[in-house]
Structure 1
Amino acid sequence: MAFQKSSHTFTKIHLKALHTYNFKILFTLSFTMFINMLSFAQDIPKSGIPIDRSANDSLVVSVDSLLIPQVSEKVQDSTLKDSIKPKKDLLEHIVKYHATDYTKFNQKEHKLYLYNEATIDYGDMNIAAGNITIDYTKNTVYAKGITDSIGTYSQKPVFTQGSNVVEPDSIVFNTKTKKALIYNSKTEQGDGTVIASLTKKENDSVYFLKNAKYTTAEDLDDPEYYIRLLKAKIVPGKKIVTGAAGLYIYDIPTPVWLPFSFFPQSDKQTSGIIIPSFGEQNERGYFLQNGGYYLALSEYFDLTLLGDYYTNGSYGFSGESTYAKRYKFRGNLNFRYESLISSERGFPDYSKSTVYNIRWSHSQDSKSNPNSRFSASVNLGSSKYYKTSVNQINTGSFLNNTLSSSISYSRTFQGELQPNISLTATHSQNTNTEEINMTLPTFQGSIGRIYPFASKTGTKKGIIQNINLQYSVRGENRITTTDEFFFKKEMFDDALAGFQHTIPLTTNFKLFKYFSISASSNFNEVWTFNTVKKSFDTIEREVITEDVKGFDSFRTYNFSTSLGTTVYGMFNFEKEGKDPKIQAIRHIIRPSISYNINPAFDKYYDTYEVVSADGLTSSDVSYTRFTGGIFGAPGNTFSSSVGLSLSNNLEAKVRDKDSTATEAKKVILLNNLNFSTSYNVAGDSLQWSPVSMSGGTQLFDNKMSINFGATLDPYALDNNNNRINTFNINNGGSLFRLTSANLTTSWSLSNSKDGKKDENKKGIQENLRNGGRDDDLFGISEDFANQQVDNMRGEDEEEENKPSEFYHFSIPWNLRIAYAVNYSNSTRQNEISSHSLMFSGDIKLSEKWSIGASSGYDLKNAGFTYTQLRFERDLMSWRMNFSWVPFSTNASWNFFIGIKSSMLQDLKYEKRNQADRSL
């Protein structure tokens, strides 16, 4: 582009003042001549020529005469287009300029001067500076700041073109070639800033730099580190390519130099190499962990491939893919495999094992399809995976005892009955016993409740109108196996399949306004494809059980009813003239009584004869062929029982500490306190069942939760510790015999008014995905370098609020305590079966230093449980972490220091090793 000179468009007229009236005379004559030259007059028709009034007015036509092109009577030029192209305008866009103090044009020098808060806008280009000079002869713009009387340099230029912003000391820009020379510039590139003494702008997309610095520090005047670039080329939004580059820390050069380097620049997820972390392990030697490649396959899904290698021959690899579609679904799929070798070949303790783990999580947006839903939460694999894995990412899952999975699909069909179907596949795996239980799949179907006697309008009232029924069906294919046969054909050999049909018929109504009565009758029909046949082998003296394949079924029914009410009690402590702290206590009691009848279904029972060893006596043993079915077996004993239950709730109204509060504050004293038992009317002995008691409450503004429970048996024990039909109080004991009890408490303490801030969010999320706890009481994953994968996906953590320059006088801290104790006395063992205390906490010693720990103490066995110590140091643009597991079979330590920025995430140092056993 080029700026047009003002002389091209303006003509200056100089008038000299006259001392006579000649000026007015000349002005009048000039104005009269101007009017005569530019005015038009209507011709007066010649006299004697009549006007034809029958002719139509030229304005009254179908097409406006103004739209008809006027054709000259002259002969048109045969050349339709001029062979000489018109000259291109000097300016392609409108130039807008402004200055606060003055805008001055020097016609002799052909320069335009703008001073103080000057700006120029031309297309997508904008220059703002204290002093701007435009040279029309050279088509250049020179911008610089302003130096005041005390030498302060202010209003430095800011050059903006598109999304690229440059802040130099001064700039020279050619409007025709669009090239520029930029002196002492600062420009943001990705997460960092490039500081260059001289920058040459070649065009809109290429910059050449000389003697530049690249840093992600916030203090650009005194950065704590930078990478010195002798020469560099920048393509904004794409890449930075440099020559020799070296790392400087506080202007001190380090030995870290590279002959060339490449910095990718992109706001979107990008593919790239993931640099592994290295370390040493006592059993497996030196290693490289979590190195590989990240593939940004599309905006909807990606793929991360990582590998581990140990010098003793052990190796591992993993693949992880995250996918998402906005307003539809999102999920994550992860597969890990490790081949582990211990000791050396030829030694007696040499061993080789392989472990694997599969994780899949999928969630569907509820708005995508309100009538159907698909979800998945899978965590399966080797039972010993988390216990034997040596990858640092699994540190927080070392104590996992259970792996579970669930994949489900459900759909609701619109209509009056609203039929609903669902398919679910489940998996539960005990990592200690290595037993695996699966359902592949579970089918459930149901229809909505039907009220056959309800009125079509109004509410349902009375016992008849509230009668309703519903139909549901459940089908399962249940598999029980172990790690040895997992995913092998043998796992299907003992699979059980069956269907259960259920039709409940219920109703409810009010009695005397205060009592609620409900009654129900339930009909069940079970289809099974596996039954058994039992017989007694007189030779081997054992019972022989044969599996029978084929369809079979049985039907059962029962009846139950319950009566309940709610009683409110209020204890007021308010008195006239007094304002006590506790103003009232409300006690809510919900007693209920129920009655259940379960008939005996003897027709489904058979017998087999057991002959004594001498062959003289025999006895018949009753059994049902449906023994071991997935939906149970029909009972052969008539049961008629009465159930009793009582629940309590206590709340208090206390005076609010806030004097401006108009109402008292409600405090929960006891969330619940429940008692339940039953009496078997049809039984001949031991008719009372043990009394179950459970309760819970929260204290200290819900920071501490307490849950407790106990079982009280009214019957005594004989000398063989068997229950007898004698009440314990009649046997010389108390009214009830405490057979079991438990108490669990958890307490979260913090000196922050805003509550505990989760500093370990990502580590806890990894624990949950692995099937662990939703806290850090058992430790958290400490794979610090693995965060680079999240950075590649664009999942950088949100910037925290900038801390104040002055640190608070109080040290922020938080503490989480969990206490659990279990007591057993069912057979007079009178022992504490388990007794443990777990705790974790974090202390922020300063704005930059924080320490944390997770541990516990086994009070029964007198020893510390799994312990993890954590240290973190914020080094402004860097971060330093240290994690240490001092003891256990998973003892290790991990040191990491690296740059926070995702672009320079590979500029790090990490050292891992097992702890010294002598410690």
Structure 2
Amino acid sequence: MQRRKTLLVFRWVPLWLMFMGITYSQTPDTLSLFPDTTSLAQDTVLNRPSGGIDSVVNYLAEDSIVFVFDSKNMKLFGSSDVKYKELALTSEIIEVNWNTNELQAYGVLDSTKVNKTDSLKARYTGTPVMKEGADVYEGWRIAYNFKTQKGRVTLGETKEDQGYYHGEQIKKVDKDMLFIANGFYTTCEYGHPHFYFYSPEMRVTVRDKIVARPIYLYIADVPIFALPFGVFPSQGGRRSGIIAPAFVDKGSRGTGLEHFGYYFALSDYTDLAIVGDWLTSGTWRVSPNFRYVKRYDFSGSLSGYYQRAIENEPRDANYVDRADYFANLTHNQTFNPTTRLDVNFTFASSENFRRALTLTEYLNQEITSNATLSKSWEGTNSSISVNINRRQNLINGSITNTLPSISYSHAQSYPFRFGRNNRGAEGEYAWYEMIGMSYGATGQRVDNRTRNADTGAFTVYQRQGINHTLSFNAAPKAGYFTISPYFNYNEKWYDKSLTIVGYDTTTGEPITADKSGFEAVRTFNTGVSMSTKLYGIMNSPIPGIVGFRHTVLPTLTYNYQPDFSDPKFGYYRTYKDKSGRERKFNKFQKEIYGGAPAGEQQALYFSVGNIFEMKTAAKDTSEKEQKYQLLNLNASLGYNFVADSMQLSDLSLSYRTNIGEYLGISGSSTYRFYEYDRNAKTRVNKYLFERGKGLVELTAFSLSLSTSLRGERKPAVTEQQLSDSIRVAEHQRNQSFSSYRGIYDRPEPDFSIPWSLSLSFNFSQSQENPTQKFRSANISGSLDFNLTENWKFTASSSYDLVAKQLAAPQINISRDLHCWLMNFSWTPLGVYSGYRFEIRVKAPQLQDIKVTKQNNDRL
């Protein structure tokens, strides 16, 4: 590699103070020194003399330390080490000449590398390394003049802000000014990097800026492009500056630049990024992103974009010229431990859905905005929240606003304990002390705006109401049983209801209108449930298995609810349809909390849960016995004693199990007891067994199978195996560079996992009408594996077994190019069919140095 180097920021501590102190710390009248034969002890600590340096100096040499008083030279041999305050200098050899006030630090030639063609520095061992705080500086030779405070680093290098800086000659002319000859910058940690920015002349103002002229980008030592000059900030932390663009090819939208703009570091708590896109078709886009944060108090952002999208040519039949917008506001604030505000507002034009650039955007057919202020009171079980909600359908343009929704909740408490939370002397509460109470209230105002597809005008529909719920329950023990009586009361308040003003002459259905005035809907239900647990245990004769346990969880519940459609309650009225049949009309059917339930209930519900478990023996005394759940099986049904027909409800079954850690199985099924009349296309009040058709008939069934397997992750490289510079680079590379990272990029593949496989099968069938069966079945899966250490293949797809269609297949091939990454993605079918090829730098701060090619602008 030619010696093209870039920047090294070197902060010098006044070393002359350190070494000047050495001359005052020696006592020549007590030692007889001979330049060629005498060496001092290897480790020496110098105490501060009067008028000398202001701190202790420690120096060490594994081989020897030689003082030559005639020439006033000090020389340290063999892994020499000098420490002063936060500064540490290590080198194979360190020389100090007190006549010229110069320091020289350098390594020794490694005979095993003499014939190699690597760089000059690579042929030496023990080259100097200087550390100051967290900064590390390396070079082939370091020279410094104590008096003038000027210095030079030959073949110097360091790391700063996730990048590596090298310089062939670095000259320090004063405290804050460096001149660098033949320097380069790269994010590749190799001594011979795969790419770098090179400049023959650089001037560095420490912690201010870097001026380079000219500047070249080299890839594999081949110059790619050049700029006449470059000015770069060198301050630490966040700083304002240009956001580099990415060159893209968007097919029908043309070629151009994406993500070009400016970043403003406004303060320690706020920043702003404004980026834009421009394509040759005339498409343009502006995207601001403002952020603010105060630790432990609040944070938020305001972002969005406005764009004009143009595709194809005006003379083309598929010419498109549309404008759309998108805006998002977030704010999260904790006022105190019991009060919090969360805001997430999103606004978008309907064209945003139609012109979606990605599959995720395309599938997001509804936008929801929320703002919630919540407050709780410690020790009271009470809380309140105020919520504002907005839902926007991007397909038909309808908007639903909830302005506002106020909810109050008082969690379960025990009002008859009178502040006594401890159990009685016998260890139990009195029966009345076990009665629990909970209360909740919610008030809403809903504004529903529906757009007319022909005229574009909105039809506004408003409703508001308040809903109260009050519950009492208890759970006393009666031997092996838990008996839980309950009573639930519900009251809804409305400011209007529906009234019948006429009937449709064709259908006979009622024509309704709103009737203003306060209305209350009061309903209740009560009942009692009883539950217990039954255990069955069996010892296992199988070696390694201790035994099996079967847990049965039966629950029996009786529930009573009056028929609130009875005229005495006043919630329903009756009318006759065109055929003369009497029907009931619910005058609260359009209110936000609905009306009162119709039909009396005196129902008995039975459910049973079954849990099958296995316990395995410990392999040795250091391990514990392990429990595994083999199967979870549940069943439920009910019987309504006062129903006029078909009192028995459907039988529902569900199950779930795992076969080891590899296969998960779950499913459900529903069965009916009554016959289905195929002519009337409805159930009739006749049991199946009365018709000789068995006890039950399947009406719905579902089954899901899933598995996920992967190879063992490659062990992480140990600290001893990884150099400091590489370890720091890998750690920082895995961190998020900023919220703007990867806006247009795919995530990096994980090469540490050699292979992984996931498969799922889903099947469902519904057959309320035995002659019509509705089925859905699909298989989906993904597979990825490393072809070699640096090649990864990934494929994912799903197959509809009913329609016999392949859905959303995608193939991706990735190549790890060390500091670069290559991705090739291919989607053979669907709206998003096409390919995308990309080669880019891994480092996030250089994310826009990439080459992309694609034939679908939505990829």
Cα offset, 1:131, TM superposition: 2.8
Cα offset, 1:814, TM superposition: 0.7
Measure, in 2, the Cα distance between the counterparts of 1:747 and 1:584: 27
**Is the aligned partner of 1:137 residue 2:99?**
yes
Farther off after superposition, 827-836 or 704-713: 827-836
Q: What residue in structure 2 maps to residue 56 of structure 1?
A: none
Counterpart mapping for 1:607-618 below 5 A: 607=573
Cα offset, 1:194, TM superposition: 2.7
Cα 1:495–1:8 change in 2 (3 A) is closer
Contact in 1 for aligned 2:544/2:617 (Cα 8 Å):
yes
**Is the aligned partner of 1:201 residue 2:172?**
yes
- Unpaired stretches in structure 1, ≥5 consecutive residues: 16-87, 756-783, 804-810
Cα 1:447–1:831 change in 2 (3 A) is closer
Q: What residue in structure 2 maps to residue 667 of structure 1?
A: 628
1:527 is aligned, of 493, 500, 517, to: 493
Q: What residue in structure 2 maps to residue 643 of structure 1?
A: 605
Measure, in 1, the Cα distance between the counterparts of 2:750 and 2:682: 66
Cα offset, 1:867, TM superposition: 2.3
2:148 is aligned, of 177, 180, 188, to: 177
Provide Cα deviations, 1:150-170, integer angstroms capped at 9, x if missing partner.
Answer: 877432222345654332222
Cα offset, 1:413, TM superposition: 1.9
Farther off after superposition, 538-547 or 515-524: 538-547
TM-score, reference length from structure 2: 0.81
Cα 1:399–1:4 change in 2 (3 A) is closer
Instruction: Say which SS state the counterpart of residue 143 (structure 2) adopts.
Output: strand
Q: What residue in structure 2 maps to residue 503 of structure 1?
A: 470
Cα offset, 1:750, TM superposition: 1.0
Contact in 2 for aligned 1:190/1:237 (Cα 8 Å):
no
Farther off after superposition, 89-98 or 821-830: 89-98
Q: What residue in structure 2 maps to residue 413 of structure 1?
A: 377
Cα 1:677–1:384 change in 2 (3 A) is farther
2:259 is aligned, of 290, 293, 310, to: 290
**Is the aligned partner of 1:117 residue 2:84?**
no
Cα 1:13–1:343 change in 2 (3 A) is closer
Measure, in 2, the Cα distance between the counterparts of 1:732 and 1:467: 49
Cα offset, 1:501, TM superposition: 1.5
TM-score, reference length from structure 1: 0.76
Contact in 2 for aligned 1:145/1:156 (Cα 8 Å):
yes
Cα offset, 1:610, TM superposition: 5.3
Letter in 1 for 2:528: T
Letter in 2 for 1:320: N
Cα offset, 1:344, TM superposition: 4.6
Q: What residue in structure 1 maps to residue 34 of structure 2?
A: none
Measure, in 1, the Cα distance between the counterparts of 2:256 and 2:813: 23
**Is the aligned partner of 1:584 residue 2:555?**
no
**Is the aligned partner of 1:458 residue 2:427?**
no
Cα 1:661–1:120 change in 2 (3 A) is closer
Aligned length: 786
Judging by fraction of residues, say which structure has more strand. Answer: 2
Contact in 1 for aligned 2:369/2:390 (Cα 8 Å):
yes
2:643 is aligned, of 659, 683, 696, to: 683
Instruction: Say which SS state the counterpart of residue 108 (structure 1) adopts.
Output: coil
**Is the aligned partner of 1:548 residue 2:515?**
yes
Percent identity of paired positions between Structure 1 and Structure 2: 29
Cα 1:788–1:159 change in 2 (3 A) is closer
Measure, in 2, the Cα distance between the counterparts of 1:311 and 1:829: 58
Letter in 1 for 2:690: N
Letter in 2 for 1:142: Q
1:216 is aligned, of 187, 197, 202, to: 187
Letter in 2 for 1:219: Y
Contact in 1 for aligned 2:713/2:754 (Cα 8 Å):
no
Counterpart mapping for 1:313-392 below 5 A: 313-331=282-300, 333-341=302-310, 344-345=313-314, 349-359=318-328, 369-376=336-343, 381=348, 385=352, 388-390=355-357
Cα offset, 1:514, TM superposition: 0.9
Q: What residue in structure 2 maps to residue 823 of structure 1?
A: 765
Cα offset, 1:484, TM superposition: 6.9
Measure, in 2, the Cα distance between the counterparts of 1:109 and 1:209: 32
**Is the aligned partner of 1:304 residue 2:273?**
yes
Contact in 1 for aligned 2:359/2:858 (Cα 8 Å):
no
Measure, in 1, the Cα distance between the counterparts of 2:140 and 2:706: 60
**Is the aligned partner of 1:866 residue 2:837?**
no
Larger Rg: 1
Q: What residue in structure 2 maps to residue 241 of structure 1?
A: 211
Cα offset, 1:379, TM superposition: 5.8
Instruction: Say which SS state the counterpart of residue 729 (structure 1) adopts.
Output: helix
Instruction: Say which SS state the counterpart of residue 461 (structure 2) adopts.
Output: coil
Instruction: Say which SS state the counterpart of residue 633 (structure 1) adopts.
Output: coil
Q: What residue in structure 1 maps to residue 443 of structure 2?
A: 475
Counterpart mapping for 1:268-287 below 5 A: 268-287=237-256
**Is the aligned partner of 1:599 residue 2:562?**
yes
- Unpaired stretches in structure 2, ≥5 consecutive residues: 1-15, 32-49, 115-122, 716-732
Cα 1:901–1:557 change in 2 (3 A) is closer
Measure, in 2, the Cα distance between the counterparts of 1:639 and 1:341: 62
Contact in 2 for aligned 1:791/1:902 (Cα 8 Å):
no
Letter in 2 for 1:596: N
Measure, in 2, the Cα distance between the counterparts of 1:364 and 1:538: 54
Instruction: Say which SS state the counterpart of residue 682 (structure 1) adopts.
Output: coil
Cα offset, 1:382, TM superposition: 5.2
Provide Cα deviations, 1:855-901, integer angstroms capped at 9, x if missing partner.
Answer: 11111111111122222221112222222322222234322222223
Provide Cα deviations, 1:758-806, integer angstroms capped at 9, x if missing partner.
Answer: xxxxxxxxxxxxxxxxxxxxxxxxxx9x987547799x99999998xxx
Contact in 1 for aligned 2:91/2:127 (Cα 8 Å):
yes
Measure, in 2, the Cα distance between the counterparts of 1:869 and 1:298: 44
Q: What residue in structure 1 maps to residue 670 of structure 2?
A: 711
Contact in 1 for aligned 2:211/2:232 (Cα 8 Å):
yes
Contact in 1 for aligned 2:476/2:483 (Cα 8 Å):
yes
Letter in 2 for 1:870: N
Measure, in 1, the Cα distance between the counterparts of 2:761 and 2:249: 37
Cα offset, 1:149, TM superposition: 8.1
Measure, in 2, the Cα distance between the counterparts of 1:448 and 1:408: 19
Provide Cα deviations, 1:725-774, integer angstroms capped at 9, x if missing partner.
Answer: 0012222423112111122232211122699xxxxxxxxxxxxxxxxxxx
Contact in 2 for aligned 1:461/1:509 (Cα 8 Å):
no
1:751 is aligned, of 694, 707, 711, to: 711
Measure, in 1, the Cα distance between the counterparts of 2:556 and 2:179: 87
Provide Cα deviations, 1:512-555, integer angstroms capped at 9, x if missing partner.
Answer: x1111111112222111231111324767652200123322122
Contact in 2 for aligned 1:183/1:196 (Cα 8 Å):
yes
Measure, in 1, the Cα distance between the counterparts of 2:25 and 2:648: 111
Cα offset, 1:286, TM superposition: 3.2
Q: What residue in structure 1 maps to residue 196 of structure 2?
A: 226
Measure, in 2, the Cα distance between the counterparts of 1:800 and 1:668: 35
Contact in 2 for aligned 1:892/1:915 (Cα 8 Å):
no
Cα 1:654–1:530 change in 2 (3 A) is same
Provide Cα deviations, 1:632-683, integer angstroms capped at 9, x if missing partner.
Answer: 2123532211111111111122456x5677654322111x322112111111
Q: What residue in structure 2 maps to residue 762 of structure 1?
A: none
Measure, in 2, the Cα distance between the counterparts of 1:194 and 1:429: 51
Measure, in 2, the Cα distance between the counterparts of 1:9 and 1:735: 105
Letter in 2 for 1:875: L
Letter in 2 for 1:825: Q
Q: What residue in structure 1 maps to residue 836 of structure 2?
A: 894
1:564 is aligned, of 506, 509, 531, to: 531
**Is the aligned partner of 1:628 residue 2:590?**
yes
Instruction: Say which SS state the counterpart of residue 730 (structure 1) adopts.
Output: helix
Q: What residue in structure 1 maps to residue 137 of structure 2?
A: 166
Provide Cα deviations, 1:382-437, integer angstroms capped at 9, x if missing partner.
Answer: 567456312xxx3445444665554332211235x443111233455666776655
Instruction: Say which SS state the counterpart of residue 865 (structure 1) adopts.
Output: strand
Letter in 2 for 1:558: N
Instruction: Say which SS state the counterpart of residue 646 (structure 2) adopts.
Output: coil
